Chains A and B, each alone.
Chain A
Amino acid sequence: MEVSVIRSCSQATNPKTELGFSDSRFSFGKFNEKLFSRKPNSVSFESPLRRGKSGLRITAQAAQSDRLPKSKSSTKSKTLNRIRLFAGLPLDVVSGGTVNQFRAISAGLKALKLLGLEGVELPIWWGVVEHESMGKYNWSGYLTIAEMVRKAGLKLNVTLCFHASSQPKIPLPEWVLDIGKTKSNIFFKDRAGKPYRGCLSLAVDELAVLNGKTPMEVYQDFCESFKSAFSAFIGSTITGITMGLGPDGELRYPSHRGFAKSGTVPGAGEFQCYDKNMLHLLKQHAEACGKPKWGLGGPHNAPAYSELPTANTFFKDHGGSWESPYGDFFLSWYSSQLIAHGDRLLSLASSVFSDSAVNIFGKVPLMHSWHGTRSHPSELTAGFYNTATRKGYKEVAEMFARNSCKIILPGMDQSDKYQLKESLSSPELLLAEIGTACNKHGVRISGQNSTVGAPDGLKQIKKNMLSENLNDSFIFQRIGAQFFAPEHFPLFIEFVRKLNQPEPHSGNLPTKEGTTTATDSVHTRSNLSIHMQSA
Chain B
Amino acid sequence: MAAVTIDSLLQNPTLLFRPKAKVMLKPPRSLDCSRNRKLPLSRGSCFCSFNPRRTIHVVRASSSETALIGNFDTSSSDDIFYKDIFPVKRIEKVEGKFFIRLDRSKDQHDWQLTVGCSLPGKWILHWGVSYLGDSGSEWDQPPKGMRPPGSIPIKDYAIETPLKKLSEGDIFHEVKIDFNPSSEIAAIHFVLKDEETGAWYQHRGMDFKVPLVDYLEDDGNTVGAKRGFGVLSGALQQFSNVLLKSEASHADSQNNSIESKDSKNKNRCLEGFYEEQSIVKEVSVGNLVSVAVRKSPETGKVIVCLETDIPGDVVVHWGVCRDDAKIWEIPAAPYPPETTVFKNKALRTLLQPKATGNRSGALFTLDEEHFGFLFVLKLDDNTWLKFKENDFYVPLLGTSSVPGQYGQSDITTEEISSKSYTDGIINEIRNLVSGLSSEKSQKTKTKEVQESILQEIEQLAAEAYSIFRSSITTVPEEVVSETETTKPAVKISSGTGTGFEILCQGFNWESHKSGRWYMELKEKASEISSLGFTVIWLPPPTESVSPEGYMPKDLYNLNSRYGTIAELKELVKSLHEVGMKVLGDVVLNHRCAHFKNQNGVWNIFGGRLNWDDRAVVADDPHFQGRGNKSSGDNFHAAPNIDHSQEFVRKDLKEWLGWLREEIGYDGWRLDFVRGFWGGYVKDYLEASEPYFAVGEYWDSLSYTYGEMDHNQDSHRQRIVDWINATNGTAGAFDVTTKGILHSALERCEYWRLSDKKGKPPGVVGWWPSRAVTFIENHDTGSTQGHWRFPGGKEMQGYAYILTHPGTPAVFYDHIFSHHRSEIANLISVRNRNGIHCRSLVKIVKAERDVYAAIIDEKVAMKIGPGYYEPPSGSQRWSLALEGRDYKVWETS
| Contact status A525-B410, CB under 8 Å | no
**Chain A residue with Cβ nearest B443:** A521
Among A100, A484, A497, A533, contact of B430 (Cβ-Cβ < 8 Å): A533
B407 touches A98 (CB 8 A): yes
Interface string of B210-243 (1 = CB under 8 A from A): 0000000000000000000000000000000000
Task: Flag A492-523 by CB within 8 Å of B: 1 or 0 each.
Answer: 01000100010000000000000000000110
Decide yes or no whether B427 CB sits under 8 A from chain A.
yes
Closest to A6 in B: B430
Asked if residues A486 and B464 are in contact (CB atoms below 8 Å), the reply is no
CB distance from B59 to the nearest CB of A (A): 8
Does B426 interact with chain A (Cβ within 8 Å)?
A: yes
Choose the segment among A103-111, A212-220, A312-320, A387-395 that binds chain B (4+ C-beta atoms closer than 8 Å).
Answer: A103-111
Interface contact A484-B431, CB-CB below 8 Å: no
Is A111 in contact with B457, judged by CB distance below 8 angstroms? yes
Q: Does B699 contact A (CB under 8 A)?
A: no
The answer to whether the Cβ of A209 comes within 8 Å of any Cβ in the partner chain is no
Measured between beta carbons, the chain A residues less than 8 angstroms from B460 are 107-108, 110-111, 114
* A1–B431 touching, CB < 8 Å: yes
- Evaluate contact between A148 and B467: CB separation under 8 angstroms: no
A390 smallest CB distance to B (angstroms):
30
Q: Are B461 and A111 neighbours in the complex by a CB distance under 8 Å?
A: yes
B599 vs chain A, min Cβ distance (A)? 32
B287 at the interface (CB under 8 A from A): no
Q: Is there a chain A Cβ closer than 8 Å to B422's Cβ? A: yes
Residues of A within 8 A of B430 (CB): 1, 5-6, 525, 529, 532-533
Asked if A451 is at the interface (CB within 8 A of a chain B CB), the reply is yes
**Could you tell me the distance in whole angstroms from the C-beta of B442 to the nearest C-beta in chain A?**
7
Beyond A1-B427, A5-B431, A107-B58, is A97–B456 a contact (Cβ under 8 Å)? no
Does the CB pair B434–A487 fall under 8 Å?
Answer: no
A528 at the interface (CB under 8 A from B): yes
Query: Which B residues lie within 8 Å of A110 (CB)?
Result: 55, 418, 422, 460
Does B425 sit at the interface, judged by CB under 8 A? yes
Give the residue name and chain of the A residue nearest to B442 (CB).
A521
A110-B460, A141-B403, A532-B432 given as contacts; is B453 within 8 A of A487 (CB)?
no
Q: Are B464 and A484 in contact (CB under 8 A)?
A: yes
Pairwise interchain contact A114-B484, C-beta atoms closer than 8 A: no
| A14 interface residue (CB < 8 Å to B) | no
On whether A97 and B415 interact (CB within 8 A), knowing A5-B430, A481-B465, the answer reads no
Nearest A-chain residue to B425, judged by Cβ: A114
Task: Answer whether residue A288 sits at the interface, using C-beta atoms and an 8 A cutoff.
Answer: no
B608: chain A residues within 8 A (beta carbon): none
Question: In this complex, which of A6, A101, A110, A144 has the most chain B Cβ atoms within 10 angstroms of its Cβ?
Answer: A110
Interface centre among A101, A263, A481 (most CB of B within 10 A): A481
Among A98, A151, A480, A525, contact of B434 (Cβ-Cβ < 8 Å): A525
Which residue of chain B lies nearest to A141 when distances are taken between CB atoms in the complex? Answer: B404
Query: B410–A102 contact, CB under 8 A?
Result: yes
Tell which of A152, A486, A501, A529 touches B724, judged by Cβ atoms closer than 8 Å. Answer: A486
Q: Is B75 an interface residue (CB 8 A)?
A: no
**A452 touching B484 by the CB < 8 A rule?**
yes
Asked whether any CB of chain A lies closer than 8 Å to the CB of B178, the reply is no
Q: Which residues of A contact B434 (CB under 8 A)?
A: 497, 501, 524-526, 528
Q: Which residues of chain A are near B333, meaning CB under 8 Å?
A: none
B299 at the interface (CB under 8 A from A): no
Asked whether, in the complex, the Cβ of B429 is within 8 Å of the Cβ of A481, the reply is: no
CA A405 to CA B479, docked complex, whole Å? 36
- The A-contacting residues of B in range 402-425, CB under 8 angstroms, are 402-404, 406-408, 410-411, 414-415, 418-419, 422-423, 425
A140 contacts the other chain (Cβ, under 8 Å)? yes
Does the CB pair A151–B415 fall under 8 Å?
A: yes
> Is there contact, CB below 8 Å, between A6 and B431?
yes
Shortest Cβ distance from B728 into A: residue: A486
* A259 in contact with B415 given A114-B457, A487-B728 (CB within 8 Å): no
Let me know if A103 and B431 touch, CB within 8 A: no
Indicate if B167 sits at the interface (CB-CB under 8 A): no
* Complex alpha-carbon distance, A148 and B414, angstroms: 10
Question: CA separation between A259 and B419, bound complex, in Å?
Answer: 42
Least CB distance from B575 to A in Å reads 28
- Taking the nearest CB of chain B, how far is it from the CB of A141, in angstroms? 6
Contact present for B419 and A115 (CB under 8 Å): no
Residues of A within 8 Å of B403, CB to CB, are: 96-98, 138, 140-141
Q: Tell whether B441 is near chain A: CB-to-CB under 8 Å.
A: yes
* CB < 8 Å neighbour of B404 from A6, A97, A101, A497: A97
B457, A106: Cβ atoms closer than 8 Å: no
Q: Is B381 an interface residue (CB 8 A)?
A: no
Q: Is B462 an interface residue (CB 8 A)?
A: yes
Is there contact, CB below 8 Å, between A148 and B464? no
B183 in the interface, Cβ–Cβ < 8 Å?
Answer: no
Rounded to whole Å, the gap between the CB of A526 and the closest CB of chain B is: 6
Closest chain A CB from B872 CB (angstroms): 36
Take A138-B403, A167-B482 as given contacts and tell me if A148 and B411 are in contact as well, using a CB distance cutoff of 8 Å: yes
Given that A104-B464, A489-B461 are known contacts, is A451 also in contact with B432, CB under 8 Å in the complex? no
Q: A486-B724, A497-B434 are in contact. Are A99 and B407 (CB under 8 A)?
A: yes
Q: Nearest residue in B to A453 (C-beta to C-beta)?
A: B485
Task: Determine if A261 is an interface residue (Cβ-Cβ < 8 Å).
Answer: yes
B825 located at the interface, meaning its Cβ lies under 8 Å from any Cβ of chain A in the complex: no
B residues near A532, Cβ cutoff 8 Å: 426, 429-430, 432
Interface string of B446-479 (1 = CB under 8 A from A): 0000000110111011111101110110000001
A259 in contact with B484 given A115-B457, A141-B404, A524-B438 (CB within 8 Å): yes
Nearest-neighbour CB distance to chain B for A142, whole angstroms, equals 9
B483 within 8 A of A: yes
Given the complex, which residues of A lie within 8 Å of B464, measured CB to CB? 104-105, 107-108, 111, 479, 484
Measured CB to CB, the closest approach of chain B to A444, in angstroms, equals 27
**Min CB gap B418→A, angstroms:** 6
CB–CB A262/B486 < 8 A: yes
Closest B-chain residue to A528, C-beta based?
Answer: B432
Q: How far does the alpha carbon of A528 sit from the alpha carbon of B457 in the complex, in Å?
A: 13
B404 A140 Cβ-Cβ under 8 A: yes
A307 beta carbon closer than 8 Å to chain B? no
Task: Tell me whether A116 is interfacial, beta carbon within 8 Å.
Answer: yes
Choose from A100, A259, A497 the contact partner of B483 (Cβ within 8 Å): A259
Q: Are A147 and B408 in contact (CB under 8 A)?
A: yes
Q: Are B465 and A489 in contact (CB under 8 A)?
A: yes
| CB of B435 closer than 8 Å to a CB of A | yes
Determine if B62 is an interface residue (Cβ-Cβ < 8 Å): yes
Partner of B418, one of A106, A479, A490: A106
Contacts of A480 in B (CB 8 A): 468, 472
Instruction: Let me know if A535 is at the binding interface, CB within 8 A.
Output: yes
Report yes or no: B404 in contact with A167, Cβ–Cβ below 8 A.
no
Of B427, B428, B430, B463, chain A has the most CB atoms within 10 Å of the CB of B430
A96 to B81, CA, bound (A): 14
Is B526 at the interface (CB under 8 A from chain A)?
A: no
Tell whether A113 is near chain B: CB-to-CB under 8 Å: yes
How far, in angstroms, from A486 to B770 measured CA to CA in the complex? 11
Q: Which residue of A lies closest to B407 (CB)?
A: A144
23 contacts between A and B (CB under 8 A): A1-B430, A97-B403, A101-B468, A102-B407, A103-B58, A104-B464, A106-B414, A108-B461, A111-B461, A138-B403, A141-B404, A151-B415, A452-B484, A481-B465, A481-B471, A484-B468, A486-B495, A521-B443, A524-B438, A525-B431, A525-B434, A532-B429, A532-B432
Binding site for A on B (CB under 8 A): 55, 58, 62, 402-404, 406-408, 410-411, 414-415, 418-419, 422-423, 425-432, 434-435, 438, 441-443, 453-454, 456-458, 460-465, 467-469, 471-472, 479, 482-486, 493, 495, 682, 723-724, 727-728
Apart from A104-B467, A107-B460, A521-B443: 19 A-B pairs, beta carbons within 8 A: A1-B431, A6-B431, A97-B404, A98-B403, A98-B406, A111-B460, A111-B461, A115-B457, A141-B407, A147-B411, A151-B411, A479-B464, A480-B472, A484-B464, A486-B495, A489-B458, A497-B434, A521-B441, A532-B426
Q: Which 10 A-B pairs have the closest CB atoms?
A: A140-B404, A486-B728, A104-B467, A6-B430, A484-B465, A111-B460, A481-B468, A97-B403, A144-B407, A108-B464
